[in-house]
Every structure is written in structure tokens, then in C-alpha cells.
Homo-oligomer: A and B are copies of this chain.
Amino acid sequence: MVSLRVKTARRTQLLDITREVQKAVAESTVNSGVCTIYVPHTTAGVIINEHADPDVASDMEAAFDQMAPREGNYRHAEGNSDSHIKTALTGTSQVVLVEGGKLALGRWQGIFFCEFDGPRERTVWVKIGADRDRG
């Protein structure tokens, strides 16, 4: 398991971490397998989506803020119930296949750390499981 550090700058922020995860895959020397990206927080998640046009991430940030508004009739006293709800919507992990020693991402896909209660320093765990030899 590799631990990555992520530093976010805004309360709601989708941050492209594809390069860092790719590096962890390369260093694992696994040729073929499955990469699990896991966020050990309860107000931050991870998604896979387009990272070519940064406007896509902006639109998704706005959409999450609209689906779970910051102000609401919440019980939890810390003022971040919306952050927990957004995390439930994105999920705390993603899996990506590994082929030829690299993340097998689609042409437009990147991996985004999803900050929902920033700015903060955060952690992402990456584990690369090798395929079992079958021969």
C-alpha cells in the first residue's frame, strides 16, 4: 500500500491525481492487475471523469454543491453534513485495471480526488494487486 499526500485549496475541489497514481503503479512493478484508490476520509471521495477540459470538473463541483447544499436542516453540529453526503455520492474508492504496467484508463479519463470540506491536507491510499499466475 502506497500513501499519497494531497493538498486542497477550496472547500469543494476536484483535484487531478492521475499522475501520482500512475507513478505508484509504475513503482509497484505490477504488469497486470487491479489498482484500488482508497480515500480514508469521511468528507472527501474519489471519482474517475474527464480531465481534458477543466470546465468539466468545475461543473461537477457546482453540481455536488447544488445536490447537497451547505446550509440545510441538518442535525450534525459541525456544519459539514453536506460534505458527508457528497462523499456518500462519489464513494471513497475507485478501481482501475492495470495492463502493461500502466493504469488502463479510457482516453479522456483521469482520477480526481474530491475534496468536500477543504482546504486541507489529505491522504490517499493506493494498492496494486497483481493477477494470479495461472500457468
Q: Interface of A with B (CB < 8 Å)? A: 1, 33-34, 36, 38-43, 47-50, 53, 55-56, 58-60, 62-64, 67-68, 73-78, 81, 84-85, 87-97, 99, 104-109, 123, 125, 127, 129-134
Q: Decide: A84 and B131 in contact? CB cutoff 8 A.
A: no
Q: How many copies does the complex hold?
A: 3
Q: When A55-B75, A59-B76, A106-B42 are in contact, do A34 and B84 touch as well, CB less than 8 Å?
A: no
Q: List 16 A-B contacts (CB under 8 A).
A: A39-B106, A42-B50, A42-B108, A47-B91, A49-B87, A50-B84, A58-B76, A59-B75, A59-B76, A59-B85, A60-B84, A91-B91, A91-B94, A92-B94, A97-B125, A132-B132
